[in-house]
Amino acid sequence: MVGLYEWNMVLSKNVNRRRFSFSLAAGLVGVTGLCAVLGVANNYLPSSNHRLTESQKMSLERRLSLAEESDLEEQKLRERIDERLGNVKNPISINNMAQLGNIGYDESYLLSADYVLTRDIDCKGNQLGQIGDKDNPFTGTFNGDGKRISNFTLGSKGEYDVSLFYGLSKDSVVGNVVFADSKVNGDSFISTLAQYNEGSVYQCGLENMTINGIGNVSGLVALNREGDIVDCYSNNKTLVVSSKKPNAGGLIGSISGGRVIDCYVKGTVEGTTRVGGIVATAGRGEIKNCYLLGNVFGSTLESDVGSIIGSATGTLILNNKPNSSLVFPDGSNSDSGPIIGYAVDTTIIGYPGRKTNELVKLPVNVSHRLISK
């Protein structure tokens, strides 16, 4: 017999007494890659005479199957990325800053073409221009081949929509490139790589980067719009992301669908509210196997601050590691840090032994029922 638990959670915020719904699936399930689906401390165990209706059982079983489905979809995604890059024939070589700046502005460097970095590019403190614009996203492939683009600046004080690429379309792939020792500045919607992503961003790294803005500031992508961000990271040196208004994300400002898989940040993320070590605001989509090594700062004790996500709505969250430090203005902190600052209609899978108030910053009341099979 396997005991399956359903936790129905109501979150209340003391400031204005608003109430939110939040659900987690938990128990011991034979799912590849998971020891448990949100195992919770034994003092929450219910009595054995509680039963769910057949429709409720089907709903719970459906949510438990999400983890297994996620593993299969991830495998397919990685195969698609490998196939897309593997099918590139005769890519255009980029080996200096001038050639990088030609993309989208020269008839020999189309936004739909395939590119490969053939050497590291040291920009020597010069400003990079933006590739594409609001109406003309990048639709090709950009393979960094493990090379670095370093010592550049992006944006300036008061500028909006700052990033190297404006948009990445559904069929685009950008990957295997490291951005290093550089500064990205502006007013709002400030990111290193792109304003929005509908394609695939794969194995992109940030090293010793500083990204500053007034609002909506993120390390890599401002908005993941039904795209996929996989194996991206801040590594070795420190990433600093700072926003003076809401929305600061270590890698991503917001997601409105798509997936963020196997990403991590080493560094500091600062903001007022909706501050996340990986993602500032998540609405729909999936965030899986991500973690932060560093600090996340909120401006008040009531800030929505999480080691993975600042604020989440309708998001699937699997196996992310709550091991950062959250720091607040009164000097208090949490070394184990909740993964989410605020959550609505969000499903969390894969935290054996963790209590619910360790995963979500806001106070939680728990009710539960046992399903016996």
Domain borders along the chain are 3-372
Residue 373: what pLDDT? 24
∠ CA(300), CA(323), CA(347), 5° rounding? 80
- pLDDT tens digits, 64-117: 677 788 889 999 999 999 999 989 999 999 999 999 999 999 999 999 999 999
Which token pair is 115? 């590119």
Spatial CA neighbour of 250 closest among 228, 225, 289, 281: 281
- pLDDT tens digits, 146-185: 999 999 999 999 999 999 999 999 999 999 999 999 999 9
Q: Which residue has the tokens 């979150």?
A: 11
The pTM of the full predicted model, rounded to 2 decimals, is 0.79
Spatial CA neighbour of 88 closest among 37, 145, 36: 145
In the CATH scheme, what architecture does the domain 3-372 have? 3 Solenoid (2.160)
Half-sphere exposure of 353 (CA within 13 A, CB side): 4
Spatial CA neighbour of 189 closest among 138, 247, 251, 250: 247
Taking the C-alpha atoms of residue 102 and residue 159, their distance in angstroms, rounded to an integer, is 22
